[in-house]
A and B are shown apart, each in its own frame.
Chain A
Amino acid sequence: MGQYAGLLLDSIVSGVLVGGFYAAMAVGISIAFGMLGISNIAHPALILLGSFIAYVLNSQFGLDPILVGLLATVPFYFLGTLLYTAYEFAFERRGTQLIRGLAFFFGLLFITEVGLQLIFGVDYRLVEAPYIGPSYNIGPVSLPVRMLIPFLASVLLLVGLQIFFARTFTGRAIMAVAQDKFALQLMGAAPVRIKRIAFGLSTATASLAGAFLIILQPVEPSMGRDYIGRIFAICVLGGIGSLPGTFIAAVIVGVAESITATFYGPSWSPAIAFGFLLIALVVRPAGLFGRA
């Protein structure tokens, strides 16, 4: 096998691994934006909040970052329900969610970012865990465990959510609220309550994604912004509200970025997601797996 092919294979594999992790970041937006129609652009900032919680508990008490991420889903869920209550009260009820709702989430994004900057400064922070150093090598392909663990955990997260949406009453009600609010009321479910639960779930995924992020790479507060375009590109490409679609789109974007980074230099890779976003919006706004 030539060196070139080996390099290509290696970048594809790492692209798939990173892509799986992107899916965990994007799934929250997929729920909020795709199913509930709430354009929560503050989601990446919440992910970084999750990362910094993992950082604090890891550096102070030596807790495992994934364990922290899992525990933090509970406060994040309640934070989400609180945010939705405010959002519903201030915007959805008045019908002003488009402009002022967007500005509201943008303000939250900004407050979170600047707040983290004031507390932690602009230095890169990282966590320590036994699985962050080692790496398996299969031929020319290297499998760093710090990438493998977020990938597997993300897959588990998505499968769990998919089962929840397909099998439980609440899950199905969340899928239904996007389609027909009135019919849902006739089935005996309150749309606002269902949306509150769904938004809580969406923000809860941010604490896990944040833990994965800080395992994968050191973080600093303003990083979230770079992920906004990427996450929405994945959601649009994957088809609004479709979890399998989100996963596949995330892997496509991850591989494309990884190949670009390997052959043209990492400074170009942020432009890839934007290219995908524009192409998806222009060619097929319903995404690869969208129903519309």
Chain B
Amino acid sequence: MSNGRFILLACLVGVALVGASTFVTNEYYVFAAYFVLQYVVLATAWNILGGYVGYVNFGTTAFLAIGLYSAAALNKWLDLPIPVLIPIAGVLCGAVGLAMGYLTIRLRGVYFTIATLALSVVVQTFITNWDYVGGSRGIYIMRPTDAPVFGSYVAYLFFLMTVLAVASVIVARVIERSTFGFGLAAIRDDETAAAASGVPVLRLKLVAAAISGALMGMAGAPLPFYLTYVEPTSSFSLAYTVNSVAMPLVGGTTSWLGPVIGAVLLGTMQQAMTVLISSSVNLLVVGVLLVIFVIAAPNGILGLIRSLGGKKVDPETNPLAAMLVTEKRSSP
């Protein structure tokens, strides 16, 4: 499928989602769907760096919280609307991702991971000490009374998040099929060999880190309006991080489809379990699933489907080539 067709298809899915949401009478379902779509963005963003390049980011909460709090602060200060806040949060988090990458990504990948873990502690420290956004007491966000075009504000937020989700999936898919994406895959498979073949390793890694960070930040910008009250402890909940890591790994990391599958499955499951059982138990289940999948199904659900389909490719050694080969064969 060409990029143009894919974009058209993705947009149609988005329109269908928004259209379907207007028929839903119970607003809770729209809330739940927003939550799932937010994870589509986060998991896709994580996968651009984690799945395509092989650099593990455990700082999703930090990026999300920077987006969230920058939106909350700018809304309080200048009363900016969300469509303006989203790109600002994106630029800010892209810059943070770039800076983190520049400082640590040149070393072994594991240092980047540790630095991102520490980053969330530091961002939390700063937010807790930042009185303008309420410090540790938290801050209430007033939703504007009128929602443009859409009847209710929740529907408006859902529309924004659908746009973000569709956009991030398109970005991921375009990257995957571009020279840039091939470069990233080469780095993941063998960084030294990639550098020796003329891949600008550092530059590609930094661009990937910036894109990934920016998407996470953009997902955070509408969140204060969705929650209407934010405070540091819940904003920095480890749930965001564990989910954005678990979803791509459960779905499959080598393709844009993996994080989407993971986010829809785990996200829906958690929404159901939060209502039926309790929110700590559902986090425990996510953790257990993560461990089971990395041990027993290292290529996620997509890998399982592929091996069931009898196409004996070894995505571990060369996932991209394997994928392209299967696609070439299937198309006439």
Contacts and interface: CB of A to CB of B under 8 A. Distances in A.
Given A110-B283, A225-B117, A271-B122, 4 more contacts: A91-B294, A103-B246, A106-B58, A229-B122
Contact of A114 (B50, B54, B287): B287
Contact of A281 (B111, B126, B290): B111
A75 B50 CA distance: 34
Interface stretch (B102-110, B141-149, B157-165): B102-110
Contacts of A113: 238
Interface of B: 50, 54, 56, 58, 103-104, 107, 109-111, 113-115, 117-119, 121-122, 124-126, 128-129, 238, 242, 245-246, 249, 253, 280-281, 283-284, 286-288, 290-291, 294-295, 298, 316
A282 interface: yes
Contact of A232 (B118, B126, B280): B118
B280 A114 contact: yes
B288 A111 contact: yes
A225 B62 CA distance: 13
Contact of A118 (B114, B121, B246, B284): B284
Interface stretch (A93-101, A128-136, A181-189): A93-101
Contacts of A270: 121-122, 124-125
B129 A267 contact: yes
Contacts of B113: 39, 41, 102
Nearest to A235: B114
Nearest to A102: B56
A281 B115 contact: yes
B119 A274 contact: yes
A86 interface: yes
B115 A99 contact: no
Nearest to A96: B298
A230 to B, nearest CB: 8
A278 interface: yes
A36 to B, nearest CB: 12
A122 to B, nearest CB: 10
B129 A41 contact: no
A264 to B, nearest CB: 10
Contacts of A96: 298, 316
A171 B258 CA distance: 44
Interface in A207-232: 222, 225-226, 228-229, 232
Q: Is the interface of A mostly helix, strand, loop or mixed?
A: helix
A97 B125 CA distance: 31
A236 B245 CA distance: 25
B103 A103 contact: no
Contact of A106 (B122, B242, B288): B242
A238 to B, nearest CB: 14
9 contacts: A86-B295, A90-B295, A98-B109, A100-B298, A110-B242, A228-B117, A229-B121, A265-B129, A281-B107
B316 A229 contact: no
Contact of A271 (B56, B114, B126, B316): B126
Nearest to B110: A39
A111 B129 contact: no
A165 to B, nearest CB: 23
A100 B249 contact: yes
A98 B290 contact: no
A78 interface: no
Contacts of B281: 118
A79 interface: no
B125 A267 contact: yes
Nearest to B236: A225
Interface string A40-55: 0100000000000000
The 7 A-B residue pairs with the shortest CB-CB distance in the complex, in nearest-first order: A229-B118, A107-B291, A110-B287, A107-B290, A111-B287, A100-B294, A274-B122
A277 B115 contact: yes
Contacts of B124: 270
A274 B62 CA distance: 13
A270 B281 CA distance: 29
Contacts of B126: 271
A104 B291 contact: yes
A66 interface: no
A177 B304 CA distance: 35
Contact of A277 (B114, B128, B316): B114
B125 A271 contact: yes
Given A39-B114, A106-B290, A274 B295 contact: no
Contacts of B246: 103, 107
B103 A282 contact: yes
A236 B107 CA distance: 12
Contacts of B50: 99
Given A268-B125, A273-B118, A278 B111 contact: no
B295 to A, nearest CB: 4
A114 B280 CA distance: 7
Contacts of B298: 94, 96, 100
A271 B111 CA distance: 17
Nearest to A277: B118
Contacts of B290: 103-104, 106-107, 110
Contacts of A115: 284
